[in-house]
Amino acid sequence: MLGILLTVAMSVSMLSACGGTTKSSDADTAAKTEAQAETKAAETKAAETKEAVTESAKETASEAVTEAEKKADASGKSFKVGYVNKTLNNPYFVALDAALKEEVESRGWSYASLDASEDISKEMENMETFVSQNYDCIIMNCVDSEACLPAIANATAAGIPVINVDNACDTSADNITTVCSDNLRNGRAVGLYVGEQFGKDPIVSVLLSGVKGAVVSQERRTGLMCGIIEQRTGCTEDEAWAAAKTMEQELMDKGKAENADADFKINGQGWGNWTADEGLPAMEDLLVANKDINLVLGENDNMLLGAMTAIENAGLTDKIKLAAAADGQKEAIKLIADNTGYIATGDNNPKTVAAMAMQVADDVLLNGKTADDYEDITRTPPLCYTIENAKDYYDENAAF
C-alpha cells in the first residue's frame, strides 16, 4: 500500500556542550558497547479496535456503564474509567484505546472512550462529561500539554484522579502522573545505532516532526540528536545531551541545525501530524529543497511510512535511509527485519503503556496512593528495534 517496503528506524542532566573533536577507537568501542548493553538490558525488560463514537459524548459515556460495571474485581469493587483521547487518526492511538479498554474490562470495571479529534474545546467538553457523570478515574492523552491543565484541575477538584498517557502534560498539572514511553532514551538508543551505521560518512538529514509544541515531539528528536552526536564524537552522554539541546534550539530558531563535531546536519523540518497521509506531502516538500540528503529522521513510524512513498516516487530509495524515534509499529519492524533502508525505530508499545497506566489506577483506586507517590513521568523501559532483533519482535497479527 505504501508502494514499496521502505527504509525504517531522560530525563538526563544536560551539562556542558559536547566538546569532542576527534574520535578515538576506544571511545567508539565504548559507545557501541554501551548502546548494545543498554538495548540488551531493555529487551529483557520489554515484555489492540476502536469502538466508533456515533452519539453525543454524554450518551456514549452513559451507555458504557453496562454489565461490566456490575461485575466486581477480586477486591469486590467496581469502577468507571473514562478515557479522553486526543485523536484516533493514527493506528497507535486506536491500539492504545483498545488496549486500555481490554485492561479496564479485564478487571470487571466499565470503560468509556471519548475522542477530541485534536480539538481542545472538545477535549474540555469530554473531560466535563466524565466529571459530571461521576467517573472514578479519568485517563487522558492530551491535545496540548498546557491547554489541558484547567480540565485536569477541575476533575481533581471533583475528587477524580487523572492519569495522563502518551503526551505528557505540563509538570504543573494536578494529575497523578503521565505514563509514556521513554522518549528521550528511546531516541538516544536509535541515534546511537544510526550514528554507527553511517561510520565516517557525513550525515545530511531532514526531520519529520509530529505536532508543534508537543512535549513528546521535542523529547523524541532531542534523543535522536543526542545519540548521533554521542556516537560520532565519542563525547560523554551528558555532553551529548547538552549539545543536543543546543541543536534543538537552533532547529527551532532557524528551521535547520548542525553539529560540526559529529558531521551531522538537519537541513529541514517538516510537520506530518503523526500520520502517513500528512507525512507524504511533508516529505515531498522537504525533497524539493533537499535533494542530497542521505537520512530521514522521524518522530514516529507512521509519518515515515508516508515519507517512503515520496522517496520512492523521487527515485531515491537506494540513497536515503530512514530511522524513527518511535513507535515500533509492526509495518516498520517488518521493514527493518527485511533489511530495507528503514534501519531502526524506538519502542512505544500501546499495550505496555495501557498496562502501566492501569497499574497506577489500581494503586490509586484500591490502595489509596496519590500523586505524591509518583514522579511526574512514569516511563516504560527503552528499546531500539534493529536488524539484530526485529524478527524476534515482529508479529503480523499485532493490532499495531
Contact 181, 346 (CB under 8 A): yes
**Residue that has been written with the C-alpha cell 553539529 in this structure:** 259
Per-residue pLDDT of the chain (400 residues; tens, 9 = 90+): 333 333 333 333 332 333 333 333 344 444 444 444 444 444 444 433 333 333 444 444 444 444 444 444 455 689 999 999 999 988 899 999 999 999 999 999 999 999 999 999 999 999 999 999 999 999 999 999 999 999 999 999 999 999 999 988 898 999 999 999 999 999 999 999 999 999 999 999 999 999 998 888 999 999 999 999 999 999 999 999 999 999 999 999 999 999 999 999 999 999 999 999 999 999 999 999 998 999 999 999 999 999 999 999 999 999 999 999 999 999 999 999 999 999 999 999 999 999 999 999 999 999 999 999 999 999 999 999 999 999 999 999 988 8
Name all domains of the chain by residue range, CATH numbers in brackets: 80-175+350-381 (3.40.50.2300), 183-347+387-392 (3.40.50.2300)
Q: Is 86 exposed, middle or buried (0-12, 13-18, 19+ CB in 10 A)?
A: buried
**What's the DSSP call for residue 207?**
E
How far, rounded to the nearest angstrom, does the alpha carbon of residue 21 sit from its chain's CA centroid? 32
Buried b (16+ CB within 10 A) or exposed e, 191-226: bbbbbbbbeeeebbbbbbbbbeebbbbbbbbbbbbb
All 3 cell numbers of residue 48?
Answer: 489492540
CA–CA separation, 70 and 393 (whole Å): 37
CA–CA separation, 303 and 92 (whole Å): 12
pLDDT at 215: 86
pLDDT at 213: 86
pLDDT at 52: 37
Q: Is 137 exposed, middle or buried (0-12, 13-18, 19+ CB in 10 A)?
A: buried
Count other Cβ atoms within 10 Å, centred on residue 384: 31
Count other Cβ atoms within 10 Å, centred on residue 124: 18
CA–CA separation, 68 and 109 (whole Å): 5
